[in-house]
Amino acid sequence: MSKFRTLVLLAVGVTLGAGGVYLYARYSHELERLVFSTPVVERSILYYRDPSGAPYWSATPKKDASGRDYLPVYDDAEAALEPVEHAVQPSKLEKGERKILYYRNPMGLPDISPVPKKDSMGMDFIPVYEDEEVDGSATVKVSLDKIQRTGVRTEKVGPRSVLRSVRAVGTVDHDESLLTVVTMRSDGFIEKLFVDKTGQHVSEGEPLFRVYSPQIQQAQTDLIVAMRAQGRNTGRDADKALSGAIRRLKNLDVPDSRIEEIRKNGENPRTLDWLSPATGDVIEKKVINGQRVMAGDELYRIADHNRVWVIADVAEAEIGALEIGTRATVTLRSDPAEPLEGEVTLIYPVLKSETRTVPVRIELANPKLRLKPMMYADVVFRVGIGDAPVIAVPMSAVIDSGSRRSVLVARSEGRFEPREVKLGRQGQGYVEVTEGLTEGEEIVTSANFLIDAESNLKAALQAFTQPEPPQ
């Protein structure tokens, strides 16, 4: 009985095994078709880029300076910029929907071709259509969503007054035209000082000192003798003698009041009170009681401080922006709340070699005597006031590569044209454009460096030096 059961089980097992083999043989082909029939899509590598994001590319695998592998860029990867459009289907070209001017290098290199071709990496040259070229210059196209994400802002070019501020440090000084020196034209002896302190204020006609002068004494005697001679003889000789005596006293700078006093009284005073010739402050005093003075010695120096100068030292690089009449704001460090307004009256013809600065003079009224000589002042020159408006753009719009300066001119549908410009004066965030732009054009004022980096603007700018495309 047990043998029979064993035989039955063995027979059943063989039957099931045979059925499994039959089913595997029947459906294995179908299973293989399902598993392996899905096609494998191969991705084409366009080029390799720097792993750090720097604008470096390679046609073959390589490593950077740190030993990191360059990253492959596939043909199905999203490109940051869209200056490249895929080749137009032949059917479209045959229909004449868009006219192709020429073909350009896909990597932005300065290489163009009149017919379709491939570069050294096997990439197709990109067609440049008639409606893509603006005034014959290369353009860069950026998708509208990227423009919004990067915060690109534009502004229309228009006339503007470019105001520039030139700053300098100045020093208050005496107005040299209001300085007076007190001297005598004869020898004498000081018997009394009426003004005996430096800094003392004096008025014109006020006595400064009392002096005895033998020469003045002799001239007064001659006047008295001539007067007496004229009284005895009214001839021409007597008149000449009197006139000569009066002339000698005037030559000795004796005041008219003393001459009239002598002619009226007929007396010869021994001393003379010397009067101040000007109103102002005594800034130098070089005389004391009892001193003997010689003809021509400087006894006092008087300065009128109702008008003063501010001498500002302007840097050598800034002096070209200033001219006679340039407006300036002077702020005293002792009184910063009340700035004073003036203008340039003189640009000195000599440069200070020690500081590489040029002195510039500003004249200021000083009725309240706030300005005191040797005070420091901060001076701001306002350059450009009154000039006609000029074509100017924000300084943020200018891309300076060192050898050339350019701006991005906004075109329709996210296209930007790099335009080389020549710049002039600048101030208050704007710079004058002397060549390269016209009024009404729209330029990029922000995020232009992002466009520059993303579009390899240097390559686009090379189009300026390229020959005209073939017709």
Please indicate, yes or no, if residue 139 is contained in any of the structural domains.
no
Q: Identify each DSSP E strand in 288-354 by its residue range.
A: 292-293, 300-303, 307-315, 327-332, 335-347
> Are 35 and 46 in the same domain?
no
Please indicate, yes or no, if residue 245 is contained in any of the structural domains.
yes
- Mean confidence (pLDDT) of the chain: 79
Domain-ending residue, one of 320, 350, 383: 383
Domain-ending residue, one of 383, 403, 430: 383
> Are 310 and 373 in the same domain?
yes
Per-residue pLDDT at 48 exceeds 90: no
Please indicate, yes or no, if residue 434 is contained in any of the structural domains.
no
In the chain, the amino acid numbered 111 is D
> Are 207 and 276 in the same domain?
yes
What pLDDT does residue 451 have?
58
Note the pLDDT tens digit of each residue in 305-315: 999 999 999 99
Tokens 């005041």 — which residue? Answer: 255
> Are 170 and 188 in the same domain?
no
> Are 290 and 310 in the same domain?
no
In the chain, the amino acid numbered 53 is G
Note the pLDDT tens digit of each residue in 87-105: 444 444 444 566 787 787 7
> Are 191 and 277 in the same domain?
yes
> Are 269 and 336 in the same domain?
no
Range(s) of the domain holding residue 221: 184-297
> Are 46 and 36 in the same domain?
no
What pLDDT does residue 452 have?
55
Please indicate, yes or no, if residue 422 is contained in any of the structural domains.
no
Long-range contacts of 339-344 (CB under 8 A, 24+ apart): 340/364, 340/371, 342/310, 344/381
What pLDDT does residue 134 have?
44
Report percent pLDDT > 70 for the chain: 72
Query: Which CATH number goes with the domain that contains 313?
Result: 2.40.30.170
> Are 274 and 324 in the same domain?
no
**Average pLDDT over every residue of 339-361:** 95
Tokens 């010869």 — which residue? Answer: 268
Please indicate, yes or no, if residue 409 is contained in any of the structural domains.
no
> Are 255 and 219 in the same domain?
yes
CA distance 383 to 328: 9
> Are 320 and 239 in the same domain?
no
Please indicate, yes or no, if residue 446 is contained in any of the structural domains.
no
Burial 98-118 (b: 16+ CB within 10 A, else e): eebbbbbbbbbebebeeeeee
Domain count, the chain: 4
Output 468 or 418, whichever has higher pLDDT: 418
Domain-ending residue, one of 32, 59, 77: 77
Please indicate, yes or no, if residue 208 is contained in any of the structural domains.
yes
Output 242 or 108, whichever has higher pLDDT: 242
Note the pLDDT tens digit of each residue in 412-429: 666 778 888 888 877 777
> Are 221 and 253 in the same domain?
yes
Please indicate, yes or no, if residue 269 is contained in any of the structural domains.
yes
